[in-house]
Structure 1
């Protein structure tokens, strides 16, 4: 595989990641009815994922390539599995936050790699997009870091008031 073919593959990975993130976050948002500020932010990040996926699709197509439907399908299956596994537990609110946190950090790592590859290949537009995505995702990670402890404590207090 050539450098540019590998780069195209990574762009498709990023596209699939954003589509999966959107699907997963839309499902998770429904479970946060009792936490309207969290629900609103999850919905905002979900919308941003669609914007990023659209941008990645445009980048891929402008390079004369097509979006890989197989990677997109595989990503959606992974997202459904992640959603199902956390929804099977009584503490799904806490689990959702943990999955979002780990997924966001994976997204940062993916975009760090994509930015480096783009820079190496002289694709400054893609490097800038990846760096902007890193900044946005780091903000989401920080937001999650602020919410995870408080939601965990609130969950324990609500669910285990008699213990």
Structure 2
């Protein structure tokens, strides 16, 4: 790959697969947040947003005459499923999901920041704008997780001390 457009297509394919991974992670989290209704509602809302983001990335690829990579998509979903399994085995599953989610949101935001710069370099300002919108959405979810970390921790500890389901 030697030109900005080729890199942009490659990285958009990565982003499409990344959103597939996010969908798998969020679906697992939402289904496991039985005793954390506020967190569950936020995760479900972000899941819907993530579906829209994935559609937007696919549309960007289409504007460039490209399709998503099925192999990358499958690999990322597999990683998400394995991660979800490991978290489900943890006593403090809800906190592991929150930590992993926060890290993932930061990674996504940085990816879209990079994509916006690549799109501008490739002469694709519309794609850059789409990536900037998604970047802000990922930052907002990351900020929410950051702000909720103490509350989730305190709720987990209180439920654990009371001997009620704290895990999820």
Indicate whether 1:24 and 2:25 are aligned.
Answer: yes
1:144 counterpart residue number = 145
**What is the alpha-carbon distance in structure 1 between the residues aligned to residue 133 and residue 41 of structure 2?**
21
For 1:91 and 1:113, locate their aligned partners in 2 and report how far apart those are by CA, in whole Å: 33
CA distance in 2, matches of 1:51, 1:133: 9
Q: Which position in structure 2 is the counterpart of 1:108?
A: 109
Alignment partner, residue 59 of structure 1: 60
Distance 2:28 2:143 in 1: 21
Separation in 2, partners of 1:58, 1:136: 18
Q: Which of structure 1's runs of 4+ aligned residues deviate more than 2 A? A: none
Q: TM-score of the superposition, structure 1-length normalised?
A: 0.94
In 2, the alpha carbon distance for the partners of 1:60 and 1:2 equals: 18
Q: Does the alignment pair 1:36 with 2:32?
A: no
Per-residue Cα deviation, 1:102-130 (whole angstroms, up to 9, x for no partner): 00000011011101101111111111011
For 2:126, the equivalent position in structure 1 comes to 125
TM-fit CA distance, 1:160? 2.9
Match of 2:2 in 1: 2
TM-score w.r.t. the length of structure 2 is: 0.92
Q: Where in structure 2 are there 5+ consecutive unaligned residues?
A: 164-168
d(CA) in 2 for partners of 1:151, 1:57: 34
Give the Cα separation in 2 of the matches to 1:153 and 1:40. 19
Aligned length: 162
Looking at structure 2, the residues matched to 59 and 124 of structure 1 have their Cα atoms a distance apart, in angstroms, of 11
Match of 1:11 in 2: 12
